């Protein structure tokens, strides 16, 4: 059974960098596509970006502030979002894109989500 | 960038009734990249439908997806108490690679 678990500070000050880590069990971060999605309170889901063996893709609206990396030795991947504001307050989910041989594009496993609040 | 618009925003129905949720794309999309999720409070979203009409593993057959081009729908034939949740449609575009979600439809008990 694949499991994902987010970790990191739940409170970040404005203008600082939000840092989250996703620990994966039951699957390998050295293969497949791994990403981040967030949900501000009362709003819908927003894709942040993804990382995979040959690259990284980001949402155009966040691209200038996002960094992602993978630590295959720890089977983890991480997200950094710089220069945060109150608008970045959200529940952050780490996700796996469902691996398949037919180019379906969707998410089969999600972490439980972690609330990150941006406040001084 | 493609925008997905879901309607209605809230749908109030009773158990046993039929629910039809709509997802409209701002331009024609490849139905292969259209998916639906169910999201309950405090839980991770759950993949229901992929490729517009394919049920995810273990999904009851009361759930079905359909549509093409710009108009897609998720139908729940006979609502069970556990079906009341928020539902999102999602699309993937290859160029550039980006996922977008609709704003969601809240399915509530009447």
Tell me which DSSP letter residue A115 carries: E
CA distance A94 to chain B (A): 10
Report pLDDT for A100: 87
pLDDT surpasses 90 at A116: yes
Average pLDDT over residues A90-95: 98
Predicted confidence (pLDDT) per residue in A1-17, tens digit: 999 999 999 999 999 99
Report pLDDT for A102: 86
The pair of three-digit structure tokens given for residue A61, joined into one six-digit string: 């609206």
| Cis peptide preceding A114, ω within 30 of 0 | no
Closest residue in B to A107 (Cα) is: B47
Residue A100 or residue A3, greater confidence: A3
Residue B82 burial (CB < 10 Å; 0-12/13-18/19+)? exposed
pLDDT surpasses 90 at B7: yes
Q: Quickly state the pLDDT bin for B60 (edges 50, 70, 90).
A: very high
- Chain B: residues touching A (Cβ < 8 Å): 1, 32-33, 35, 37, 39, 43-45, 47, 50-51, 54, 56, 88, 90, 92, 96-104
Mean pLDDT of chain B: 96
Q: Do A106 and B90 count as a contact with CB atoms less than 8 A apart? A: yes
Three-state helix/strand/coil letters over B36-66 = EEEECCCCCCEEEEECCCEECCCCCCCEEEE
Mean pLDDT of chain A: 95
Predicted confidence (pLDDT) per residue in B83-98, tens digit: 999 999 999 998 899 9
In whole angstroms, how large is the CA radius of gyration of chain B?
13
Predicted confidence (pLDDT) per residue in A39-66, tens digit: 999 899 999 999 988 789 999 999 999 9
CA distance A96 to chain B (A): 12
């Amino acid at each position: 059974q694949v499991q994902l678990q987010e970790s990191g500070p739940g409170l970040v000050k404005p203008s600082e960098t939000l840092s989250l880590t996703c620990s994966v069990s039951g699957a390998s971060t050295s293969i497949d596509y791994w990403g981040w999605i967030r949900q501000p309170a009362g709003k819908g889901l927003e894709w942040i970006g993804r990382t995979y063996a040959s690259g990284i893709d980001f949402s155009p609206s966040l691209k200038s502030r996002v960094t992602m990396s993978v630590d295959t030795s720890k089977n983890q991947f991480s997200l950094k979002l710089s220069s945060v504001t109150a608008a970045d307050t959200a529940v952050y989910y780490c996700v796996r894109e469902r691996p398949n041989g037919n180019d379906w594009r969707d998410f089969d496993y999600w972490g439980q989500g972690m609330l990150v609040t941006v406040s001084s | 960038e493609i925008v997905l618009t879901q309607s209605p925003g809230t749908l109030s129905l009773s158990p046993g009734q039929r629910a039809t949720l709509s997802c409209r794309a701002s331009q024609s999309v490849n139905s292969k990249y259209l998916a639906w999720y169910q999201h309950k409070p405090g839980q991770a979203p759950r993949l229901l439908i992929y490729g517009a009409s394919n049920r995810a593993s273990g999904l009851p057959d009361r759930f079905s997806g359909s549509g093409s081009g710009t108009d897609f729908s998720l139908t729940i034939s006979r609502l069970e108490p556990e079906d009341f949740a928020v539902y999102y449609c999602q699309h993937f575009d290859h160029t550039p690679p980006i996922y977008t979600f609709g704003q969601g439809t809240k399915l509530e008990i009447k």
